[in-house]
Structure 1
């Protein structure tokens, strides 16, 4: 994780959870997120329902040119990526895995920008599951928030072991090799499923349920 905001949110989440798999949603205090609040969001899934935005920061809504509350999270992505995104979110909610994505956003005018997204699971609440997340744009092009992003396209996916955040499983050829240092920190229950996206190989981390 190279983005300062992402690092700060991950560190805050990690401190809250302590020795648990994930902190509870009620423990997340907006005041503690501070300057990063506009870039954060919470996704909610009720029962077997589709994950949807429960809350979305003002800057995220501006980037997409609309209010995101209640919108299906997967609907922001190109059609070919939607099932993959849905599995990643479900996996984060169920197995409490931390997921980081690099993706490209395309605007109504055909402009493109790179973004980084992180998914941080929260403890289950009866029939209610949540994920805390953040979206940031390295470099922030001058037109961002004035030309709405209409579609996201996955570039790479990393699965992060909270115990060893520097040892993330990234979408590179090395990540597929069990002998490469940094790929051994993941829990034994996590399997790796990969597919090609353009010239990149994307890894879906964690055990896929169903």
Structure 2
């Protein structure tokens, strides 16, 4: 049985963290009407305040998606340099298949996505994070994305007690233009409807819909209401 849910109203009026909304707005601005911007269009100076939380992933052919670059804060809280390491290695074993499917969706369908997750430290402490995944244009052989991973409750121990794994709380596809509009004008957001398409913990279950209903992108369901 496929269990899908749609967020609406105040729950989807904006990203949970200003840093996430800022990166989404920048990506939207430089891509204009295209599905995704070129990698060469990313200007670090334009997002310098958020660089410690930002990363770039690449997906080589026949290999796991890995970090090409990772911000200093991300490396610190995970206990070391993330460059060239597998993105899947950050996640619990039970969530890796779903994250891998999500990455394929972002790369192949040029879909934007957000993951809410709980990180666990070496000593068992926990902190919640919001991770944004935004595709970049390019050939399939050099697929890349830019993203951010930001703590929603920045605990005092982050950086001292390294994070050893993260567990997914929810995965959502974004309508980027509408999500940005809702972040800028919360009052309009409630009236305009949902910008996030959320999937429950049963996200790995496959579902199929006819053309008149919601469309299926791999394991995620996107409802009508905006173009990705």
Q: CA separation in 2, counterparts of 1:87 and 1:192? A: 7
1:145 aligned residue: 159
2:47 aligned residue: 33
Q: Provide the aligned length of Structure 1 versus Structure 2.
A: 183
> Stretches of 4+ moved more than 2 A in 1?
188-193
Q: Deviations over 1:120-153 (max 9, x none)?
A: 0000236200010000001200111110000110
TM-score scaled by structure 2? 0.76
Structure 2: stretches of 5+ with no match in the other structure: 1-14, 183-194, 201-213, 223-228
Q: CA separation in 2, counterparts of 1:33 and 1:11? A: 11
Contact in 2 for aligned 1:102/1:116 (Cα 8 Å): yes
Select which of 117, 124, 140 maps to 1:110.
124
Structure 1: stretches of 5+ with no match in the other structure: 173-187, 194-203
**RMSD in angstroms over aligned alpha carbons?**
1.9
Select which of 156, 173, 198 maps to 1:170.
198
Q: Does 1:100 align with 2:100?
A: no
1:63 aligned residue: 77
Report the alpha carbon displacement of residue 163 of structure 1 after superposing the two structures with TM: 3.0
Select which of 87, 102, 108 maps to 1:73.
87
Structure 2 counterpart SS, 1:20: coil
TM-score scaled by structure 1? 0.82
C-alpha change, 1:11 and 1:134, in structure 2 (3 Å) is same
Report the alpha carbon displacement of residue 158 of structure 1 after superposing the two structures with TM: 1.1
